[in-house]
Structure formats: structure tokens, C-alpha cells
């Protein structure tokens, strides 16, 4: 079991008041809070180790470069990638997906080729492929879900024609919490020699992810969801793909030699890291991942499952409330609606109780259209949340329902 009281002391923001109430932060699906060790690392780098990285012959630049590349190795080991050369620093999962769309898709797809997505995708895993569709004339096919929010693998298999060039799919739904059977889905795709890109934003902070075990071709996540800073994320890719793909952006760092006639490129991963990167964010992300590793990701998953089950049982006891997304295989996310009530009204009243939840379509408008609703209230849990907080949340939700009758 986790020592939650000890963990909570690591997060300075949990000591603040929100609307004169103790802050209860249930919006971890959007972004997580930061432990002091991450905040201290950011301060330390700027105060004692900051310089532009690579190529600097002076000591400070070499120290900064070493810290940056050590962070890459931390992330490589955390994901169990074969090599740190398979780890690319990006701004976040959105940029990672766009990188794959432009570097892999643009140069490998042609008119009539197909990309498969799921009904649950975040807009960041829909729009890049639509941009490519409009440019190249490719087709986007969608894996349907059932009312519980589960994917039917038989329906998925039916979509796997010889025109499919990529499957791009989330690991965990940010709106429903559904955990996709991603290893089986990848295995099915690979039998047809179709590569798979996995959006791991809602999985990496909450459960063990082993990219070799999954056999993922591409896997990405955002740092700010795993207790790291904003503006930094990771794209993992199998090395042979990175070696074949063209760069996403051009500029400093990614080049080997430049003339006005021709430019040659660095080897991966630097081939995909044009310009001055988010040096401090990259280093601090390594610190955040070390923090999670030291707590133990399996214990975090079990703790959040306990929170999910407890909150689900409590919400089910409220007649006016309907949970959206009832898969038996879920991460710590609950979306719900209240009868004859707009989610934003619930969110405002919960905020008055110091409780931060997300209301809206959660960047999943096609999914909301599937359920024929405009929005939901979403409570999403992190490693520092408690059963007592859920009790307070349920009390506040009851209060909101009574006020809005």
C-alpha cells in the first residue's frame, strides 16, 4: 500500500485553499500537480546548471547536456525501450502524433490508403489525420464501441484491409477511462503487417507500460500528466522507423552538414529534435519519472483502482446520476451526467466546495455525439487522491443536485 499522507506532503499545491476549502484535485486527466522534487529540479537547473546543450565545449554546457541525455535514458528504461535512441523529446503527445503524421504518414501514404482510429480518440489523434486526408486523399476508418465504451476486436478485424497503412489509437480513454486491449490489438495489426501508434497520455502515469512487450511501433505521452512540467513529452519509436522517416522540422541540432546544395541529418533521436529543445523541461521530466518509479507504478495503479471502485459504488447510489463509460476494464476516470442538469452547473458548485473536476466534451466531440450528449462531468484520480476526498466529493455532488432541482 502507498503511504498517501507522506506522498501528499510532496505536493505543495495540496496545502492551498480553493474557495476557502481544502483543495481536492480531481482533474488529473487534464494535467497533474507537481511534486516538490520536480519544482526543485527546475529551480536547480536554472540556478546552477543551465546552458544550451550539445556542441558547447565549456563545462556548464557539458553538464547541461549530460543531464538532458541522462533524462532520455531514464525515460528509455521506464518504457523499456531497447535504446535511448528510440526516445524523442517533443512538446507533448499532440506534437508526437503530428510528427508521425508528417514524417511517417506524409511520406508513406497515398490516395486511397487508410488509417484506423477508434470512436474514443482525443481530437489530437483525429485532426492530424484529417489534415493528411485533405492533403493526400487518404481515408479514415473508425473502430466502433459499444455503450459500455469497449472496443469489439471482431469489428476491428473487419476494418483491416490491405489498404490500411496505420492504426493510431489511445491506450486509455481520457473521457471514459476505458483501457483498450492494446497488446492484442497490436498483435492483430502486425499479423497484417500494419504498424500501430499508441497515445499513452492516460496510461503512462497510471500503469506499467512496456513498449517491447506491447510491440508498439510508436508510443507517446505528455510529461505534464505524469507529474512533470508542461511543454514536454515523449515519442517512442522503433529505431528502424526513425532511420527511414524524414525529419519533421528543420533547423539547428538535427543537421550533420549544411550547404546550399544539400543538407545531411543527424542520426535519431536528434534528427527529430530541431532547434533548442525544452532543456529544463526534459530534465525535470526525468525527475518526475524517477519520482513515480520510486513510489512504484504497480502500487499507484492499485491505489487508483481502489479509488475508482469506491467512487463508482458511491455514484451508482445516486439515482439522478448516470455514469458514461461502464467498461469492466477502466483506469481511474469517471465521467457522468446528472438528470436535467448541465455538467457546467455541477462543476461550478463543486468548485465552490474546493473540488476541481473537468466539465465539457474533453476534446472528444465525436464520442459525445455517439452518446448523444453535449458534455459530461469528469473526475480523474492521481496518486495523491484519497477515499476521504471522494466522500467530500459525493457530499458536494449531493448538494449540487439538491440545489439544481
Task: Give me the long-range contacts of 328-331 (CB less than 8 A, separation at least 24).
Answer: 328/148, 329/150, 329/178, 329/179, 329/181, 330/176, 330/177, 330/178, 330/179, 331/172, 331/177, 331/179, 331/202, 331/203, 331/206, 331/207, 331/304
Around Cβ 258, how many Cβ atoms within 10 Å? 12
Alpha helices in 324-380 (DSSP H): 343-352, 365-371
**Residue of 201, 220, 363, 364 marked catalytic:** 363
Q: Are 93 and 124 in contact (CB under 8 A)?
A: yes
Residue 305 backbone zone (phi > 0: left; psi -120 to 50: alpha; other: beta)? alpha
Task: Report helix, strand or coil for 360.
Answer: strand
* 363 part of the active site: yes
With a CB cutoff of 8 Å and minimum separation 6, the contacts of 258 are: none
Alpha helices in 170-278 (DSSP H): 182-191, 211-214, 239-244
| 221/233 Cα distance (integer angstroms) | 6
| 386/23 Cα distance (integer angstroms) | 12
* Complete DSSP assignment for 106-148: HHH--TT-EEEEETT--GGGTHHHHHHHHHH--EEEEE-B-TT
| 26/391 Cα distance (integer angstroms) | 13
Q: Can the peptide bond before residue 269 be classed as cis, meaning omega within 30 degrees of 0?
A: yes
- If you search the block for the grid coordinates 518509479, which residue do you land on? 293
| 170/203 Cα distance (integer angstroms) | 9
Task: Report helix, strand or coil for 257.
Answer: strand
Q: Which three cell numbers stand for residue 39?
A: 519544482
Q: What residues are labeled active site?
A: 363
Amino acid at each position: 500500500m502507498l503511504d498517501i499522507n507522506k506522498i501528499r506532503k510532496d505536493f505543495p499545491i495540496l496545502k492551498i485553499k480553493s474557495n476557502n476549502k481544502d483543495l481536492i484535485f480531481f482533474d488529473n486527466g487534464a494535467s497533474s500537480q507537481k511534486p516538490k522534487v520536480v519544482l526543485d529540479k527546475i529551480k536547480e537547473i536554472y540556478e546552477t546548471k543551465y546552458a544550451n546543450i550539445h556542441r558547447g565545449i565549456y563545462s556548464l554546457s557539458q553538464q547541461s547536456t549530460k543531464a538532458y541525455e541522462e533524462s532520455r535514458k531514464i525515460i528509455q528504461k521506464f518504457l523499456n525501450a531497447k535504446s535511448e535512441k528510440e526516445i524523442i523529446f517533443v512538446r507533448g503527445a499532440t506534437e508526437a502524433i503530428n510528427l508521425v503524421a508528417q514524417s511517417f504518414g506524409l511520406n508513406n501514404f497515398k490516395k486511397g490508403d487508410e488509417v484506423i482510429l477508434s470512436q474514443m480518440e482525443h481530437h489530437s489523434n483525429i485532426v492530424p489525420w484529417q489534415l493528411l486526408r485533405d492533403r493526400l486523399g487518404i481515408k479514415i476508418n473508425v473502430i466502433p464501441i459499444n455503450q459500455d465504451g469497449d472496443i469489439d476486436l471482431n469489428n476491428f478485424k473487419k476494418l483491416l484491409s490491405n489498404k490500411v497503412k496505420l492504426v493510431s489509437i489511445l491506450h486509455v480513454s481520457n473521457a471514459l477511462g476505458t483501457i483498450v486491449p492494446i497488446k492484442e490489438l497490436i498483435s492483430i495489426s502486425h499479423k497484417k503487417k500494419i504498424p500501430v501508434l499508441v497515445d499513452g497520455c492516460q496510461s503512462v502515469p497510471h500503469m506499467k507500460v512496456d513498449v517491447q512487450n506491447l510491440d508498439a511501433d510508436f508510443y507517446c505521452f505528455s510529461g505534464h500528466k505524469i507529474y512533470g512540467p508542461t511543454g514536454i513529452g515523449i515519442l517512442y519509436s522503433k529505431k528502424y522507423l526513425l532511420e527511414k522517416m524524414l525529419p519533421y522540422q528543420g533547423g539547428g541540432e538535427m543537421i550533420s552538414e549544411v550547404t546550399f546544395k544539400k543538407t545531411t541529418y543527424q542520426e535519431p533521436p536528434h534528427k527529430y529534435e530541431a532547434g533548442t529543445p525544452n532543456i529544463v523541461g526534459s530534465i525535470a521530466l526525468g525527475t518526475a519519472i524517477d519520482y513515480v518509479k520510486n513510489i512504484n507504478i504497480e502500487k499507484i495503479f492499485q491505489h487508483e483502482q481502489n479509488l475508482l471502485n469506491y467512487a463508482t459504488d458511491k455514484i451508482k447510489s445516486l439515482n439522478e446520476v448516470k455514469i458514461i463509460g461502464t467498461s469492466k476494464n477502466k483506469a481511474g476516470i469517471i465521467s457522468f451526467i446528472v438528470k436535467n442538469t448541465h455538467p457546467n452547473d455541477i462543476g461550478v458548485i463543486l468548485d465552490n466546495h474546493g473540488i476541481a473536476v473537468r466539465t465539457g466534451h474533453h476534446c472528444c466531440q465525436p464520442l459525445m455525439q455517439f452518446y448523444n450528449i453535449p458534455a459530461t462531468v469528469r473526475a480523474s484520480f492521481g496518486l495523491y487522491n484519497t477515499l476521504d476526498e471522494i466522500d467530500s466529493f459525493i457530499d458536494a455532488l449531493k448538494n449540487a443536485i439538491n440545489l439544481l432541482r
